[in-house]
């Protein structure tokens, strides 16, 4: 009888040694150093003394930083909600498309991953700015109508360097991360259940609400998690598309490590963000376990 390679401890140890060492040296060790910094204070421009105090965490809980953190949570939540509302019909359309059409639709969803995020963000700036493509198209239509009705000249819309631009950019960046888990869940659905629901007299909306949505709940939860967490820690999008009142918590963290040179406080803010991430993952795990127990 052949031994299952998964049950061979020496082989497993050999195969896992390299990735575990890499994880320890290049991830866990630097993370532990930054975590230690969060309990310290600057003694000079280049030295940090770790004293074990919670001063930086207490400072991070001041109203100013809590307001920025709350704004970040609001932006991430709104981004996730928009991605879910728009992405669910897209995932349904991909699931029930013909094999050839499905391949092309999936290619279109994954196509943004082939381009660097920085380039895509600058492309959005070209679209949203006052002289951008959206305002140019609106101006063309408005001026055409204005010549007929005698309306005043078109005033460009303020679409850049504000909250709208940040949420728009986050939705654009995170949209594929919502669609792909939804598609993975919908593609595993037993379609005979949908046919049975329709044969028994339920309408399409009732079937969608009572059959499709509950069975795709694991994909919804996964999509929400993988969309909300990166949106919460987004840095580049609010930095380039947002204004002075549209900065998120990641931008504040970046300033502490660079211009302010206050690494201990930046580390404390970073780990507060990480604690929120762990809480979101824990909630998702508890909900999954509860659904499994109920089933």
> Which two tokens mark 81?
């909600």
Closest to 186 (Cα-Cα) out of 206, 203, 208, 202: 208
> Which two tokens mark 262?
């206050």
- Residue 295 clears pLDDT 70, i.e. is over it: no
For position 149, what pLDDT does the model report?
Answer: 60
Q: 202 φ, ψ to 5°?
A: -75, 140
CA distances from 157 to 41, 134, 147 (A): 46, 9, 20
For position 294, what pLDDT does the model report?
Answer: 64
Most confident of 75-89, 183-197, 204-218, 264-278: 75-89
Domain boundaries, the chain: 69-294
For position 72, what pLDDT does the model report?
Answer: 95
> Which two tokens mark 122?
């600058």
- Are the CB atoms for 205 and 86 separated by under 8 Å? no
150: left (phi over 0), alpha (psi -120 to 50) or beta: left
For position 238, what pLDDT does the model report?
Answer: 95
Alpha helical stretches, state H, 150-262: 163-187, 191-199, 204-207, 213-215, 217-232, 236-241, 249-257
Tell me 209's DSSP state: I
For position 137, what pLDDT does the model report?
Answer: 86
For position 84, what pLDDT does the model report?
Answer: 97
CATH topology of domain 69-294: MetI-like fold (1.10.3720)
Least confident interval from 73-82, 94-103, 109-118, 133-142: 133-142
pLDDT tens sequence across 128-170:
998 888 988 888 877 777 666 656 777 888 999 999 999 999 9
- Residue 208 clears pLDDT 90, i.e. is over it: no
For position 287, what pLDDT does the model report?
Answer: 74
For position 209, what pLDDT does the model report?
Answer: 87
- Residue 1 clears pLDDT 50, i.e. is over it: no
């Amino acid at each position: 009888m052949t031994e299952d390679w998964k049950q061979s401890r020496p082989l497993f140890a050999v195969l896992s040694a390299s990735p575990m060492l890499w994880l320890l040296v290049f991830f866990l060790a630097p993370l532990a150093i930054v975590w230690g910094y969060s309990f310290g204070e600057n003694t000079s421009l280049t030295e940090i003394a770790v004293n074990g105090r919670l001063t930086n965490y207490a400072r991070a809980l001041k109203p100013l930083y809590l307001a920025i953190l709350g704004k970040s949570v609001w932006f991430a939540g709104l981004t996730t909600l928009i991605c879910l509302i728009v992405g669910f019909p897209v995932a349904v359309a991909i699931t029930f498309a013909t094999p050839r059409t499905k391949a092309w639709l999936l290619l279109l969803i994954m196509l943004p991953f082939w381009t660097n995020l920085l380039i895509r963000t600058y492309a959005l700036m070209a679209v949203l700015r006052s002289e951008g493509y959206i305002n140019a198209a609106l101006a063309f239509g408005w001026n055409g109508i204005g010549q007929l009705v005698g309306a005043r000249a078109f005033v460009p819309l303020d679409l850049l360097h504000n909250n709208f631009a940040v949420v728009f950019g986050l939705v654009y960046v995170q949209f594929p991360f919502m669609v792909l888990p939804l598609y993975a869940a919908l593609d595993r659905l037993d379609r005979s259940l949908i046919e049975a629901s329709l044969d028994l007299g339920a309408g399409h909306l009732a079937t969608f609400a009572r059959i499709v949505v509950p069975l795709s709940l694991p994909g919804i939860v996964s999509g929400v998690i993988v969309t909300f967490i990166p949106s919460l820690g987004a840095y580049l999008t609010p930095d380039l598309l947002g204004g002075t009142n549209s900065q998120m918590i990641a931008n504040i963290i970046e300033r502490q490590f660079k211009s302010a040179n206050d690494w201990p406080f930046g580390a404390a803010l970073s780990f507060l963000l990480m604690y929120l991430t762990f809480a979101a993952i824990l909630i998702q795990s508890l909900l999954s376990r509860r659904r499994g127990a109920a089933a």
